[in-house]
Amino acid sequence: MNCRPDLHFSPERGWINDPNGLIHFKGMYHLFFQFNPYSTRWGMMHWGHAVSRDMIDWQVLPIALTPSEEYELDEKGGCFSGSAIEKDGRLYLFYTGSVIRDGRTIQTQNMAFSDDGIHFEKHPDNPIISELPPGSSDHFRDPKVFCYDGAYFMVTGCSIDGDAAVFLFASEDLVDWDFRSVLFRGEHRHGTLMECPDLFRLGGKWILTGSPEHHPEGIRSLVLIGDFDADSGRFIEQGYMPADYGYEHYAAQSFESPDGRRISFAWMNEWEWMSTFAGFSKGPDDDWCGCLTMPREFSLVDGSLRMHPAKEATERFRDGWFSRTLELSPDAHRVGLPDGCWSIEVRYSESRMQSSDLMLALVDSSGLLVSMDLNPERGYATIMCRGRGPCVIPISRHAEHSLSVFFDHCALEVFIDGGERCASFMVYPSSEDLKLEARTPQKTAYADIAIRSLQ
């Protein structure tokens, strides 16, 4: 069965993990990604490269970064994650060179540049940052560079005394970088190591995101909301939440689109050390492994972060498959779903229901594949995918509730109440003929359900 997604970026062959270097440069969106072209397993990281006009249809370009230098040439290392920035018409990539020498991990920050956005030259002064900042463990990686108030800043992930932390560097010319400060330290509340940090402004606040290893609450993609004091180099945390409550959303990176939207992509998988790891699933005969989320747009509403799929993705679905107000009861109402890639929009108001409990299920020839139970009265939604434990998501009460589900062969993204909560999962059906079952455990309830197929 074909499990290659239509709208989620996946490599033509080989292995993908983190999205890297997201940028709109000279009229095109550029996506770079952690890539092993030689195997469907992680190893010797390259930067794969693709360009697009709409962040959905990607044209694959030659590999942008191949490990070739002493600071990055290693079977168990390579050109690790990083970011892109444009300066004076030139595209700059910042990445971590990672090698293991005499059993020790050595990670340095490096830069490559290009004028055409296709061919990259590694900077002769690499590594541009080779000294570990004070207190840092050997894990010092994933530079994200941004411009603020006329100065360039770089955040990198690290660990200080077993505590997830983020360093801040500053530069005037993108080549000479000064260590500024420990931007943020988790004080044992946010795991042991921060990977892929990202810092940006949104709706008058600063948002710091990152993927923590061994987070005590199991958070894979952390969002911290607060302020950034550029003078002291500190992030002042005012609250935090998971970016995504599902099992497969990691190493997210954001960038600003030309029309000012804050867009994010994440890797839809997770590492073996995570508690819900279920194997880097793929079809048995596939020569590729992994995919990214669809592009998502961030917004800040009443101080809390929301994410919803970018219009470039939602526009791909067309009305007409199914659209009705259903009277639900304890007996399941069954509707056939289009092949491969589709979306479901559900709207319901508590006033039209005798219980606020709405239960949806995706069923294939082997039975229950995914169950989604929304219970605003009790304050949570529970999503369960075949063979995996329940994922419990806190939700708030509203007069009107909504659920948007996007399924793309094997990639499932769920958005609750206008993106207040999101959850991503990799799910492998055993047949194409999926059905939606909708019911409510008590008496009757009304829900508007629209199913859309891919254009």
Residues that bind ligand FRU (CB under 6 A): 17-18, 34, 45, 80-81, 96, 141-142, 195-196, 250-251
Q: Is 302 exposed, middle or buried (0-12, 13-18, 19+ CB in 10 A)?
A: exposed
- Contact yes or no for 92/85 (Cβ under 8 A): yes
- Contact yes or no for 450/337 (Cβ under 8 A): no
- From the list 304, 290, 318, the residue with the least C-alpha distance to 395 is 304
- From the list 339, 343, 345, 342, the residue with the least C-alpha distance to 434 is 339
Catalytic site includes residue 229: no
Task: Give the span between the Cα atoms of 434 and 354, in whole angstroms.
Answer: 29
- Min CB(194)–ligand FRU separation in Å: 9
**CB closer to ligand FRU out of 82 and 429:** 82
Please give the structure tokens belonging to residue 78.
Answer: 């390579």
- Min CB(281)–ligand FRU separation in Å: 17
- Contact yes or no for 90/154 (Cβ under 8 A): no
First-to-last C-alpha distance (Å) of the chain: 21
What values do phi and psi take at 274, rounded to 5? -80, 150
Q: What value does the CA radius of gyration of the chain take, rounded to a whole number of Å?
A: 22
363-388: burial string, b at 16+ Cβ within 10 Å, e else:
bbeeeebbbbbbbbeeeebebbbbeb
Phi-psi region of 245 (alpha: psi -120 to 50; beta: other; left: phi over 0): alpha
**CB closer to ligand FRU out of 65 and 337:** 65
Q: Which residues are catalytic?
A: 18
